[in-house]
Amino acid sequence: MAKPPAPGIRISKWSSGEWSDVPDAVVTEEPLQLMLDGRPLSVVMRTPGEDIELALGLMFAEGIARSLEDVRLMRISAESGETASEITIDASIVDSNQVDIHLARAPRRKPERSMLASSACGVCGAVLIEDLRRDLAELRAGPVIDPALLTGLVERMRSGQGVFERTGGLHAAGLFDPSGELICMREDIGRHNAVDKVVGRMLLDGRLPMRDAILVVSGRAGYEIVQKSITAGIPVLAAVGAPSSLAVALSREFNQTLIGFLRGERFNVYAAPDRLAR
């Protein structure tokens, strides 16, 4: 599905000691009401587009659904224009900012409370940190990656960020194979939403867990990004920004290679450096 164009507005700009009235574009942010079996579950602030992937990726990260067999039906608005051949879609919902997931069986992990996700926070339904850890498994060794390969991945990801080029306001998550080929790239105002969209796409394609993949994210590597990527089986996570202390601790605990400050020809490795060739 094509993303909606970035809204055009007029702004006042100060440059070189002078004011000017100029056109500008801002990124779209709208609430998405997630429903589970017809009942409200979560409100996610996101950039419209790939809402099916976003919903499935979030359900996967939360442990509510871990395969397409867990999902019986998804209800969305026909206005969204989204389809998924892998899942039965009922395009009867009037509100285009709503997705209703109907499970084929009782959820693997029952939501403990309503979830609220802003565009800045991606850990939605877990009450305790230990609750997030309980579904994670240590990642196996490999693949071994040429460190020089990593330095070009951010630019490859950025080259596909059409909305970012117009607004400068979107985060991105890019999934690459060990040779640096782009598998999937998604944008969103929330970096964790972009990750959920990538994971949702891989779930739809039957490619989880992604045991030989590299995930590159714009911005920092927070705990929620690490948790979501480990859940998807991704062994290497690289961020343009800094990792948090909790992100480093979790990556080390579950043997995920964590890279921060991936800029230009430099980066730092905070966990599991053995996957990078010496």
CB–CB of 48/186 below 8 Å? no
Alpha helices in 99-161 (DSSP H): 129-133, 147-150, 153-159
**Catalytic residue list:** 121
CB–CB of 54/97 below 8 Å? no
Do 243 and 179 lie in a common domain? yes
Asked whether residue 16 is domain-assigned, the answer is no
Do 152 and 271 lie in a common domain? yes
Structure confidence at residue 131 (pLDDT): 62
Which of 69, 94, 129 is the C-terminal boundary of a domain? 129
Structure confidence at residue 7 (pLDDT): 62
Read off the CATH number of the domain in which 46 is found. 3.10.20.10
Ranges 31-35, 40-44, 72-76, most confident = 72-76
- Tens digits of residue pLDDT in 80-117: 999 999 999 999 998 889 999 999 988 877 665 445 45
Asked whether residue 122 is domain-assigned, the answer is yes
Structure confidence at residue 5 (pLDDT): 53
Asked whether residue 76 is domain-assigned, the answer is yes
Asked whether residue 158 is domain-assigned, the answer is yes
Alpha helices in the chain (DSSP H): 51-61, 129-133, 147-150, 153-159, 162-167, 191-204, 223-231, 245-253
Asked whether residue 90 is domain-assigned, the answer is yes
Domain residue limits at 239: 147-275
- Residue 76 banded pLDDT, cuts 50, 70, 90: very high
Phi, psi (deg, nearest 5) at residue 75: -105, 125
Do 156 and 269 lie in a common domain? yes
Do 125 and 156 lie in a common domain? no
Listed in sequence order, the residues at least 6 apart from 1 whose beta carbon sits closer than 8 Å to its beta carbon are 49, 50, 80, 81, 82
Listed in sequence order, the residues at least 6 apart from 55 whose beta carbon sits closer than 8 Å to its beta carbon are 32, 34, 74, 99, 101, 200
Do 99 and 190 lie in a common domain? no
Q: Extract the tokens encoding 54.
A: 């976003």
- Tens digits of residue pLDDT in 178-194: 999 999 999 998 889 99
Asked whether residue 192 is domain-assigned, the answer is yes
Structure confidence at residue 171 (pLDDT): 87
Residue type, 209: P
Structure confidence at residue 186 (pLDDT): 93
Structure confidence at residue 125 (pLDDT): 46
Rounded to the nearest 10 degrees, how much is the dihedral formed by the CA atoms of 173, 192, 131, 258? Answer: 40
Listed in sequence order, the residues at least 6 apart from 155 whose beta carbon sits closer than 8 Å to its beta carbon are none
Asked whether residue 8 is domain-assigned, the answer is no
Among the listed residues 263, 262, 258, 260, the one whose alpha carbon sits nearest the alpha carbon of residue 275 = 258
Among the listed residues 208, 198, 203, 206, the one whose alpha carbon sits nearest the alpha carbon of residue 174 = 198
Q: Extract the tokens encoding 263.
A: 């800029």
- Tens digits of residue pLDDT in 235-277: 999 999 999 888 898 999 999 999 999 998 899 999 999 999 9
Structure confidence at residue 111 (pLDDT): 67
Alpha-carbon separation of residue 17 from 14, 20, 47, 197 (angstroms) = 7, 10, 35, 42
Do 159 and 267 lie in a common domain? yes
Mean pLDDT, range 45-50, rounded to an integer? 90
Read off the CATH number of the domain in which 199 is found. 3.40.140.10
Do 172 and 257 lie in a common domain? yes
Residue type, 159: S
Which of 102, 129, 156 is the C-terminal boundary of a domain? 129
Among the listed residues 28, 29, 10, 30, the one whose alpha carbon sits nearest the alpha carbon of residue 20 = 10
Which of 129, 161, 186 is the C-terminal boundary of a domain? 129
- Residue 2 banded pLDDT, cuts 50, 70, 90: very low
Sign of CA dihedral 28, 32, 246, 142: negative
How many domains would you assign to the chain? Answer: 2
- Tens digits of residue pLDDT in 113-168: 445 454 455 544 444 456 666 678 999 998 999 999 999 999 888 876 554 444 45
Asked whether residue 266 is domain-assigned, the answer is yes
